[in-house]
Amino acid sequence: MSEDQILYHYTTNDTFLKIIESEALRLSSLDGANDHKEGTWVLELLYNQLQSMPSLPLQPIKNLVNTYRHQTIGLACCMSKNGDLLSQWRGYADDGKGVSIGLNRSAISLGWQNFTSKRLGFELDVEYRKDEHINFVSSLAEDFQTLVLDDDGIVQQIDIVKGLEISQKIMREMYRYKNPAFKEEDEVRFLCYLSLPFSEGAPVPNKYLWSEYVKQQPRVDMLTPFLDWKLEELKSSLVRVMLGPKNNTSVMQLEYWLEQRGFTNVSVRRSNASYR
């Protein structure tokens, strides 16, 4: 299988074992990601663009977007097209002591379609190019201009339902666009949205709503929601395990252990990164 058909998920040894035993991947809240501008990068670009349009009142638009954003959360399983990247080892795989698991993209994409048949989910290749960010933000600015101003350019009462439709458009795409400084991650996201009902009474599609399958996990200063993605295709889609630069696991022993558990097509390799 060629490298461009494999996606890698960096993780600790403990979580790797849980993935193998449960045959599930975890969708975690992006609000707790390492990038502190996660989800706000596009909003900052949007608000800067709107500030350059003096006919548009900025605060009502911010209020509308925030109403939706604060009641909607993105849960994602993040992967990379690069399975041996030092920044990923350091940030997500126990400082190089963990692993990156390589998955056949076609197989897990099929599994994702099955998983999201009753949920609102997207498979996103993260976009780092600034010109694409600007194009998206410009289209949003036009949407808000139509929403807020009438044909004569006079501020009109905002249609909440239409406003929420624009906000949903932002939420669908806001995690696609990321600071260009993270370009080397070459990230792909399997993203699911969940929402609380809106106090304004605007309809929320069932695919958005929280379900009994959502759980909470502890972090240092908060509890954050997560969702387990049961992947029936895991045995056939797992094709590689890359051992981190500080991982001393025996390649032969790990391959045998995986084979005994039905993972028969897995190649175990060591990282080429010189990091101690």
Domain that holds residue 12: 3-270
Contact residues for 2 (Cβ-Cβ < 8 A; gap 6+): none
Q: Which residues of the chain have pLDDT under 70?
A: 32-36, 196-212
Could you tell me if residue 12 is inside a domain? yes
Is position 149 within any domain? yes
pLDDT recorded at residue 151: 80
Pair 28, 224: CB distance under 8 Å: yes
CA distances to 73, 114, 128, 219, 250 from 27, rounded to whole Å, are 11, 15, 22, 15, 29
Written as one string, the DSSP assignment of 30-44 is GGGSSSTTTTTHHHH
Q: What is the mean pLDDT of the chain?
A: 87
First to last CA, the chain: 30
Task: Tell me the pLDDT tens digit for each residue of 65-109.
Answer: 887 777 778 899 999 999 999 999 999 999 999 999 999 999 999
The total number of structural domains that make up the chain: 1
In a domain, 18, yes or no: yes
Confirm whether 276 is domain-assigned.
no
> Is 83 part of a structural domain of the chain?
yes
Q: Does 50 reside within a domain?
A: yes
Residue 8, beta-bridge partner list:
80, 102
pLDDT score recorded for residue 223: 86
